[in-house]
Structure 1
Amino acid sequence: MRGHDWINSRLPDELILEIFRNLDSKSSRDACSLVCRRWLTLERLSRDTIRIGASGSPDALVDLLARRFPNVTNVYIDERLSVSLPPDFDPPIASFSELTLWKKEKKEPTHLGCILYPEKLGRRRNASHSALSWLRLHFVSERSESGASESDSYCISDAGLTAVADGFVKLEKLSLIWCSNATSAGLRSVAEKCRFLKSLDLQGCYVGDQGLVAIGKCCRQLEVLNLRFCEGLTDTGLVELALGCGKTLKWLGVAACAKITDISLEAVGSHCSSLEFLSLDSEFVHNKGVLAVAKGCSLLKNLSLQCINVTDEALTAVGVFCLSLESLALYSFQRFTDKSLCAIGKGCKKLKSLMLSDCYFLSDKGLEAVAAGCSELAHLEVNGCHNIGTYGLESIGRSCMRLMELALLYCQKVGDEALSEVGKGCKYLEALHLVDCSIIGDDAIYSIATGCRSLKRLHIRRCYEVGSKGIIAVGENCKYLTDLSIRFCDRVGDEALVAIGQGCPFLRHLNVSGCHQIGDKGIVAIARGCPQLSYLDVSVLQNLRDMALAEVGEGCPLLKDIVVSHCRQITDVGLAHLVRSCKLLESCHMVYCPGITAAGVATVISSCTNMKKVLIEKAKVSERTQRRAGSVISYLCVDL
């Protein structure tokens, strides 16, 4: 019957709640909350995640949200986010019961969350004005009573953490990112009232040992703990936490904590037998601490180390005791030699990911040992290890047939023969990254293209021996390619992009910045053959003209990001043709283009309603354009 509410009269609350929980779009959830009061209440009950930035008064905001959304289990407070509720902000339409924050970078939260934007909110005008007035008064009274500085008012304090603890009793995940005013007192409140806490991220917080001790005593289900840049902590706090949460802790990150030493790691090794992930960046940890973890945490699967005082002795122990290790990352080691990698290759048969960065004393011998022992290896990155060359990578190609991603950065001794072996043996390779590999050329790329036909991502930067021949082979053989970046490869010309346009219809990301031989013909071929293109960087292409941009506009309607900086022949005419069809465009970089004027900038701004960032010289922005879209315009700093 017309006008009869069949849904509300027939469906119970439990079923509507279940529907809300299964909606995969935040905008859909927001829309549902505006249907009626009942749906608004139920939608609030279904929210499980809130993400908060630096608002005008985060303590008051947390208190408000805690009363509005009682079933939240995940709270993310990140004071790096530039978000605010300005004193003069008075939206004509907004349901403040749903308004939580205004975020400049409009990104969806990882989980279904509570980032709700005013332009998407409801139409309950009277309620919005009263709620907004209440919060403004709350802000003013808080500031006047506390006498806090303006900067302090944008930082959550212990009162805010107490509100979190009182309001979100079901809390399981809490992230406090760079919350400089949070102390042990606030963390103690969370510990005492949020007994179900499983994940705690304190990155950049200056909390003391007492707060961490309280977490260890009260939160016996804690599994994840991030202590990166927590300069106020000492061994006392981490030792006590290991004693309390040792049976459940699985993930631990420590970086730039000068007062955390081997004593803490010995406690972790003794009590945290379930630990699976350890990220350690410290100048104050030595072999003793890493040895204790290796011997006590046999279930360790992921290990990341940047410790200049750790030597072969510690990493050898990892190879002997951590037989479940799947991922290993070593950064800036001056004391590791091939002896360490030989131990890893011998013991860690389940290793799937290996990253070696600036490990100057590792050579082909160590990489050969890993190849021989770790046949499950799927991801390998070698960055700045100057003694690793062609022979080591040949070993990987012969033995690691499951390799899916290979990155070679600043590897001056790796030649074509290495990638030829990878092409022959690694049929499942999907991603290849090459940066400043001076002796790798077309033969290597040809071998990869013909042998690894499942290749999806190819990134090449400043490899001056790579030319059109190799890229043509990619176009002819790798039809699933979605991401191609060939930056500053002077020998790549239009014929290469013609092959890509003809053979890679699924291409979404293309960067040919600095490839001076590429002009209109190559970009036109891409425009006509790659309709799914969403990102295009053609900066520093001196031969590119308006005709190419017009073709891109016609052939690539899904384009969201374009970079045309330093293209001297691009003019306002080309931009006009581009934006006529590319209505989804979100960012446009066009600095140092003499043919682009204020009129062209205005055309881009007025035509692209989804635009979030325009990078341009300040002199090319008219006052009218500035008034209309100042929030999305970024200026190149040229006034010195």
Structure 2
Amino acid sequence: MRGRDLINNGLPDELILEIFQRLDSKPTRDACSLVCKRWLSLERFSRTTLRIGASFSPDTIATLLSRRFLHITSIHVDERLSLALPPPPPPLKRKRGSNKSSSSSSSPSSSKRQKLSNKTRSGGAENAESCSLTDAGVIALANGFPRIENLSLIWCPNVSSFGLRSLAQICTSLRSLDLQGCFVGDQGLSAVGKFCKHLEELNLRFCEGLTDVGVIDLVLGCAKSLKSIGVAASAKVTDLSLEAVGSHCKLLEVLFLDSECIHDKGVVAVVKGCRRLKSLKLQCVNVTDAAFSVVGDFCVSLEMLALYSFQQFTDKGMKSIGKGCKNLKDLTLSDCYFVSCDGLEAIAHGCKELTRIEINGCHNIGTRGLEAVGKSCPRLTELYLLYCQRIGNSALYQIGKGCKSLETLHLVDCAGIGDTAMCSIAKGCRNLKKLHIRRCYEVGNKGVIAIGKNCKSLTELSLRFCDKVGDAALVAVGKGCSFLQQLNVSGCHLIGDVGVTAIAKGCPQLTHLDISVLQKVGDASLSELGDGCPMLKDLVLSHCHYVTDNGLNHLVNKCKLLETSHMVYCPGITSAGVATVVSSCSHIKKVLIEKWKVSERTIRRAGSILSYLCMDL
């Protein structure tokens, strides 16, 4: 009320700014900025990060934002994001006796927005260009935010070396630059090396226009500050660039390479020259064991190693790493077909600090290798086994026995793992918080019941297409895992109303639920979920033939926080049910449904949140 504004009269600007800086979400900050003009001004003053999409006119948006936000240090422009100006408000109704036209009664801001919208929609080719950030937009960002430190230009094909050079000349405080998918050339990158002497992080993934010339110029210019480099799918960036990195970038800590043009020579140059290297991610088919023998000798500080699709990497290289990289904590092996149990054993015996292991599609790694991990790596907290057909129950028995700190376990298509393994994990790893199992057909009620009885801290459980899991398993989880927040039992056809009801009664903190393809689930489950899980945000119940509008109505009347709902192939759900979801859930953001089930009125009311299953092919 006017005259009773105790907050604005009593709090100075500095204190309100401090409050804004402690708000951890953008929607909360936006809501606070709507309180009054003073709060709007202070919120703009305090904001440090901007994210700009590609739709509408990013060049124009960049210019407008530079006038409103004065202390921005991080800008993210991503062609994959969508951003559109709001539609202009309807014209104000004229009062009787007023001779002013309706156009003159509209506000200046709406008039400007309307002109901008009309300008953007006119002209086919011109409009296509305006829907992607160009050099003009980059220059506007540079002029408007000369003090930015972090800049991401993701998949912006119309940004050239001219725009990048202009930005580098103005924004000399840049510390992080992400040019993923941009077609900038050597001249732009050379300018960054010449003017941005504080650059620490550089991402050049999918920058097809670059060659060794531009990369080397940048490396020479930023040698004293560069700590992280990423290169992928750049056919003209070769070992010469890596030799320059190894010779000059003594502070380098992170290297990501995905290239067929990189060989042992380039990797060895970086490894020998950059003794502070902590993270190494490689997908280089022409790198062999010879390079990894040098990694083991020189990378004593290495903490993270990820190797993808290596064709010339064997147990010999693994043994070198295990012998020399004693501080290794994170290991990922993906499609490394020539690594066997011997190599994993060497890593386990030598790298006892391991906390995370991911093995994906390494078909020669079996039970013995993982048993060595269980015996030698007591600090393991995360384990991912994907498409590991040769790993059996005794491997997870050893993990349960030796890795008491395990919190996350992912199993995908591991045919040799069943209830015995799950019981071992449940009894040994009582701090387990996340368990994700997909298409492990030997896992059934017995293993999941053990998890429910022993793992009281479980927050995420996924049992997708484990067709031996039934209601008894979920009853145990409902009784024992009261902190459960996410549950996915898609495709577990033995689960029905009894199991889902047990979850509804025992897991009040549930926010995400996927019960799709469950033919025994009906309205009774949805009613119980509405009563017991008021925090539910995401619901997937596609292919549930016995769910109807009645159950859906009961659920949405109680679950007011619902944001997404997938309801395709549910014959009992009609247009009335879809309308109920849209009208009852004020936070709803996405509804996936067949198009023919949506009424015209629902489309008018909530067309932007409706997604349709393509059925008209």
TM-score using structure 1 length: 0.91
How far the C-alpha of 1:55 sits from its partner, in A, is 4.0
Opposite residue 90 of structure 1, the aligned amino acid is P
What percent of counterpart residues are identical?
66
Equivalent residue number for residue 237 of structure 2: 260
Please show how residues 496-507 of structure 1 align to structure 2 within 5 Å.
496-507=473-484
Question: Which region of structure 1 is more displaced relative to structure 2, 393-402 or 273-282?
Answer: 273-282
How far the C-alpha of 1:135 sits from its partner, in A, is 5.1
Match of 1:609 among 576, 586, 605: 586
How far the C-alpha of 1:31 sits from its partner, in A, is 4.5
Cα distance in 1 for partners of 2:349, 2:590 equals 49
Equivalent residue number for residue 297 of structure 1: 274
- Residues 578-603 of structure 1: CA deviation (Å, up to 9, x unaligned): 11211111111111122222222222
Match of 1:133 among 111, 115, 118: 111
Opposite residue 365 of structure 2, the aligned amino acid is I
How far the C-alpha of 1:56 sits from its partner, in A, is 2.3
> Is the CA contact (8 Å cut-off) linking 2:422 and 2:448 kept in structure 1?
yes
Task: Decide whether aligned partners of structure 1 residues 206 and 2 sit closer, same or farther in structure 2, where only a CA change above 3 A counts.
Answer: closer
How far the C-alpha of 1:171 sits from its partner, in A, is 0.7
How far the C-alpha of 1:540 sits from its partner, in A, is 1.1
Cα distance in 1 for partners of 2:197, 2:330 equals 31
> Is the CA contact (8 Å cut-off) linking 2:88 and 2:114 kept in structure 1?
no
How far the C-alpha of 1:177 sits from its partner, in A, is 0.8
> Is the CA contact (8 Å cut-off) linking 2:89 and 2:110 kept in structure 1?
no
Q: Gaps (5+ residues) in structure 1?
A: 94-124
Aligned length: 607
TM-score using structure 2 length: 0.94
Question: Which region of structure 1 is more displaced relative to structure 2, 601-610 or 485-494?
Answer: 601-610
Cα distance in 2 for partners of 1:619, 1:32 equals 40
2:388 is the alignment partner of 1:411: yes
Opposite residue 359 of structure 2, the aligned amino acid is V
Equivalent residue number for residue 514 of structure 1: 491
> Is the CA contact (8 Å cut-off) linking 1:55 and 1:85 kept in structure 2?
no
Task: Decide whether aligned partners of structure 1 residues 147 and 393 sit closer, same or farther in structure 2, where only a CA change above 3 A counts.
Answer: closer
- Residues 122-151 of structure 1: CA deviation (Å, up to 9, x unaligned): xxx99993234335546767898x995221
- Residues 140-167 of structure 1: CA deviation (Å, up to 9, x unaligned): 67898x9952211111111111111111
How far the C-alpha of 1:321 sits from its partner, in A, is 0.8
Cα distance in 1 for partners of 2:232, 2:207 equals 8
Cα distance in 1 for partners of 2:149, 2:27 equals 25
Cα distance in 2 for partners of 1:248, 1:316 equals 28
RMSD (CA atoms): 2.3
2:192 is the alignment partner of 1:215: yes
Cα distance in 2 for partners of 1:241, 1:491 equals 57
Task: Decide whether aligned partners of structure 1 residues 394 and 542 sit closer, same or farther in structure 2, where only a CA change above 3 A counts.
Answer: same
2:335 is the alignment partner of 1:358: yes
Cα distance in 2 for partners of 1:36, 1:557 equals 32
Opposite residue 70 of structure 1, the aligned amino acid is L
- Residues 17-40 of structure 1: CA deviation (Å, up to 9, x unaligned): 334333334344334444554444
Equivalent residue number for residue 426 of structure 1: 403
Match of 2:89 among 91, 95, 106: 91
Match of 2:523 among 546, 570, 574: 546
Opposite residue 238 of structure 1, the aligned amino acid is V
Equivalent residue number for residue 54 of structure 1: 54
Question: Which region of structure 1 is more displaced relative to structure 2, 332-341 or 621-630?
Answer: 621-630
How far the C-alpha of 1:513 sits from its partner, in A, is 0.9
Equivalent residue number for residue 17 of structure 2: 17
> Is the CA contact (8 Å cut-off) linking 2:120 and 2:127 kept in structure 1?
no
Match of 1:367 among 327, 330, 344: 344
2:63 is the alignment partner of 1:63: yes
How far the C-alpha of 1:83 sits from its partner, in A, is 1.7
Opposite residue 20 of structure 1, the aligned amino acid is F
Cα distance in 2 for partners of 1:9, 1:611 equals 37
Equivalent residue number for residue 174 of structure 2: 197
Cα distance in 2 for partners of 1:528, 1:168 equals 53
Cα distance in 2 for partners of 1:31, 1:620 equals 34
How far the C-alpha of 1:91 sits from its partner, in A, is 3.4
> Is the CA contact (8 Å cut-off) linking 1:199 and 1:225 kept in structure 2?
yes
Q: Gaps (5+ residues) in structure 2?
A: 92-102
> Is the CA contact (8 Å cut-off) linking 1:60 and 1:139 kept in structure 2?
no
2:178 is the alignment partner of 1:180: no
How far the C-alpha of 1:214 sits from its partner, in A, is 0.5
What SS is found at the alignment partner of 1:340? helix
- Residues 471-491 of structure 1: CA deviation (Å, up to 9, x unaligned): 000000000000000111111
Opposite residue 637 of structure 1, the aligned amino acid is C
Match of 1:156 among 105, 110, 133: 133
Opposite residue 61 of structure 1, the aligned amino acid is I
What SS is found at the alignment partner of 1:423? helix
> Is the CA contact (8 Å cut-off) linking 2:56 and 2:120 kept in structure 1?
no
Equivalent residue number for residue 73 of structure 1: 73
